[in-house]
Structure 1
Amino acid sequence: MTRALHHLDLWVDDVATAEGEWGWLLAWCGWQREEGKLSWLHDDGTYVFMEHSPDQHGDHDRLRPGINHVALVVETRDELDRMRAESTEHGWHEMYADRYPHAGGDAHVALYLESSEGFEVEVVVGE
């Protein structure tokens, strides 16, 4: 299978906090932490790498030009419900809670989360 995306490189301000938040979320979605690295690998070969770079300046703002959010997949609605129940314990804030699980439309089943640094992740129940 050819992967559509090679990797994502996340620049974070607080690596320790982001590692806990993202590590929990990515593991839930089936990504494996790579030994001795700040990266997580998916079965299709795609990986997410995390770092704090000295080249960074300013705060992350998903509403400015750039990538607004990343969408990940879980297999079932039950998994999504359990993720929702546990997300705040792991530093995530639920977005659009009043419209869960159809904030993206009646036919779309997803959970929208925001990290402590303002990164948005949409977790979608697989097709």
Structure 2
Amino acid sequence: MRARLSHIEIYVKSLERIKDFWDWFFEHIGWQRYQQWAQGCSWIDGGVYIVFVEVTTASPVPFNRRNPGLNHLAFRVATPQEIDDLTNLLRIKGIRILYEDRHPHAGGPSYYGVFFADPDGLKVEVFADSWRNDPP
């Protein structure tokens, strides 16, 4: 048996609050809007889609990525320049870069990427496939 990832569904407190954040991000990385309805929306790329659904019975405890459950979503891009461009855009939009003191190598010396969080605190990671910390 071989299975591929189909989709990820994430419950949110306020769809409107997170929709603007994810709209610009998914557009920036080349994903397409897939579905939209009163309580949710999704974006798709290559047959995999991510769904955000507003729930009315949300827990009074705020989301904490350090609790059991989903910690973060990670995306890969081709080049370090794409990471630099995204990082500049995040800063222009006032979105806090996580692990700023180690950016863009927060994942280690052979890593080039950026970590940030959506309005609910869900961590997002974007890293460059082609970067290696090898001398020229």
Larger Cα-atom Rg? 2
Task: Specify the TM-score bucket, using the shorter chain as the normaliser.
Answer: 0.7 to 0.9
Q: Please state how far the C-alpha of 1:36 moved relative to its aligned partner.
A: 4.0
Counterparts of 2:15 and 2:124, CA distance in 1: 18
TM-aligned CA distance change 1:63 to 1:78, over 3 Å: same
5+ residue gaps, structure 1, are none
**Contact 1:20 / 1:90 at 8 angstroms: preserved in 2?**
no
Secondary structure in structure 2 of the residue aligned to 1:98:
helix
Matches within 5 A, 1:64-83: 64-83=67-86
How high is the sequence identity, in percent, across the aligned residues? 29
Q: Which has the higher strand share?
A: 2
TM-aligned CA distance change 1:80 to 1:106, over 3 Å: same
Q: What residue is the counterpart of 1:56 in the other structure?
A: 58
Q: Compute the RMSD of aligned alpha carbons.
A: 1.9
What is the CA deviation profile of residues 42-86 of structure 1, one whole-angstrom value per residue up to 9, with x for unaligned ones?
Answer: 0x2000111111342131111101111110122211111111111
State how many pairs are aligned: 125
Q: Of 122, 125, 131, which aligns to 1:122?
A: 125
Q: Is 2:9 the counterpart of 1:6?
A: no
TM, length-normalised to structure 1 = 0.87
| Misfit runs of 4+, over 6 Å | none
5+ residue gaps, structure 2, are 131-136
Q: Aligned AA for 1:114?
A: A
Secondary structure in structure 2 of the residue aligned to 1:60:
coil
